[in-house]
A = this chain, B = another copy of it.
Amino acid sequence: MDIAGNLLIGQSARRGTNGVSYGLDAASGERLAPGFGGATLEDVDAACGLAWSAFDLFRETSLEARAEFLDTIAANILALGDGLIERCVAESGLPRARIEGERARTVGQLRMFADVVRSGDFLEVRMDPAQPERKPLPRANLRMRHIGLGPVAVFGASNFPLAFSVAGGDTASAFAAGCPVIVKAHAAHPGTSELVGVAVRQAVEDCGMPEGTFSLLFGSGREIGQGLVRDPRIKAVGFTGSRQAGTDLMAVAAARPEPIPVYAEMSSINPVILFPHALEQRGEEIAQAFVQSLTLGAGQFCTNPGLILAVQGPALERFVVAASEALTRTPAATMLTPSIHRAFEKSVANFSAHPHVQTVARAQPAAGANEGQGALFSTTVEAFREDALLRDEIFGAASLIVRCPDLQAMHALIESLEGQLTAALHIDEADYSAVRPFLPVLERRVGRVLVNGFGTGVEVSHAMVHGGPYPSTADGRSTSVGSLAIRRYLRPVCYQDMPEVLLPEALRVANPWKVNRLVDGKIELA
């Protein structure tokens, strides 16, 4: 597969002049050809200029044209064939089956947003017809639709080289909303990024979209990434990554003369709560499933189960033994990058050395470079409460069991947690009355509450919420997965007494776009 190492600025591929970086084979640590030229701030400026020029045209494309564009991106990604899979497996160290599954998810996600665009529901068309005879004052003729915010900067994620990178969820939802996108590729998978970027660029051309609809930049996160977020033509940011990088971008965005929204999906330890009856009845079985979820993809999921809460006692000890046995049998697994691997090792070492933390089990030792060896720890409520370090996410296959004296202590502990993406409850019918008081606090703390499962495996659908209160995300009012993600990049505009011929087609009485509308507050289906 041809990979050139070029920046894609609109339709032009050009060599970046700001240093050279390489993708690495995650398993061996070896450099992969070619080198990627880094972008300069002039490249950022050029991409933003094109995106800005494209915005008014792109956002007014018909629903069908924009849907077709999303479908074409999906088709072009599939047309990359096995070359994409091979490069992505090499760069990420993730198993082929996972990457194939992730490609399917990425393509499915693009097609879902194509359908979302076709339906037109995201426009949220509202009409309050004029009431010229109303007393004491007549009512004007009011129409509302939503339009895109403007060009969006998207940051590729290390852990989803396809589904949350160049043509991932952020890009697909921003395109669907009518926003041009400039992607800052993640350094962990530049080759994968270029391949997908060329597929997107080709779709721009195939579908006759304006040139600046898409650009792809390689280079330093701090210089190029922050430069992008600072550019006045960028109107929103989609990011998945570390808390530090995310809050840095939030600060840059808030300090602009015109602050802009940052949708950063950052850190979460995803509490798993084992209720007494389920723990007693099915503790060993839950332990197996837990270790599978914990070690899936070397634990490199935002929804990885990093915290286990249960009431202390013999049932919990049986769970611990079963989980330990399962983890001990689990091989170490290649992590995404050497730096992620180093950070994992460092955090695990910190937990191991902690005076109030017990190392319960480790996975099999590493057999190669960058292999993360899963770790299971336990501690007490007091230690967990007193040391903020223990409440930090460890990115990788590590989890901490907190033994709670009783359900009240467990409840109080959950109330003290920061915002989380998910919480998973393991419960039987006999637990329901104990569960009820936990639901209000969980709703306040997390974006998704799940029962008898684990948060890994995020369905791309309409009712999904992959979001949650700060700091799990920068903005708990939104989701980054599922069809509602489109709303992040939209804002409402009202047209008052605008003549029909000047109105956007979506707002005309004759409803040429056949969209569902709220008329005088009542839904009228198309």
Contacts and interface: CB of A to CB of B under 8 A. Distances in A.
Interface of A: 55-56, 60, 101, 115-116, 119, 121, 126-128, 136-137, 139-140, 142-144, 147, 149-150, 250, 254, 258-259, 261, 418-419, 429, 432, 435-436, 439-441, 443-444, 446-453, 457, 459, 461-465, 467, 469-471, 474-479, 483-484, 490-499, 501-502, 516, 518, 520-521, 523, 525
A126 B463 contact: yes
A483 B521 contact: yes
Contact of A462 (B119, B128, B450): B128
A287 B497 CA distance: 19
B464 A491 contact: no
B498 A462 contact: no
B258 A469 contact: yes
A502 B436 contact: yes
A446 B498 CA distance: 15
Nearest to A484: B492
Nearest to A457: B137
A451 B465 CA distance: 39
Contact of A477 (B140, B149, B448, B467): B149
A477 B418 CA distance: 26
Given A128-B461, A491-B476, A520-B462, A496 B144 contact: no
A166 B431 CA distance: 43
B258 A250 contact: no
Given A128-B464, A432-B502, 13 more contacts: A60-B440, A128-B463, A142-B464, A250-B259, A259-B474, A261-B475, A448-B495, A451-B502, A461-B520, A464-B494, A467-B492, A478-B491, A523-B525
Contacts of A490: 477
Contacts of A432: 499, 501-502
Contacts of A498: 449-451
A501 to B, nearest CB: 7
B451 A493 contact: no
25 contacts: A56-B440, A101-B136, A128-B459, A128-B463, A128-B464, A142-B459, A142-B461, A142-B464, A144-B462, A144-B463, A144-B464, A147-B443, A150-B444, A258-B419, A258-B470, A259-B470, A429-B499, A439-B502, A449-B495, A450-B498, A451-B496, A462-B520, A477-B491, A484-B492, A523-B523
A453 B494 CA distance: 14
Contacts of A115: 521
Given A449-B494, A496-B449, A497-B451, A144 B419 contact: no
Question: Ordered nearest first, which 4 A-B pairs have the shortest CB separation?
Answer: A450-B496, A465-B494, A142-B463, A126-B463
Q: Could you say which of A439, A457, A478 has the most chain B C-beta atoms within 10 Å of its C-beta?
A: A439
Contacts of A463: 126-128, 142-144, 494, 518
Contacts of A443: 147, 493
Contact of A448 (B457, B464, B496): B496
A453 B491 contact: no
A479 B55 CA distance: 23
Given A463-B143, A492-B447, A523-B516, A497 B452 contact: yes
Contacts of A477: 149, 261, 490-492
A464 B496 CA distance: 9
Contacts of A441: 56
A459 B463 CA distance: 33
Q: Could you say which of A142, A435, A471 has the most chain B C-beta atoms within 10 Å of its C-beta?
A: A142
Contacts of A119: 521
Nearest to A144: B463
A126 B126 CA distance: 20
Contact of A140 (B453, B474, B493): B453
Q: Could you say which of A101, A119, A140, A477 has the most chain B C-beta atoms within 10 Å of its C-beta?
A: A477
A116 B126 CA distance: 14
A192 to B, nearest CB: 22
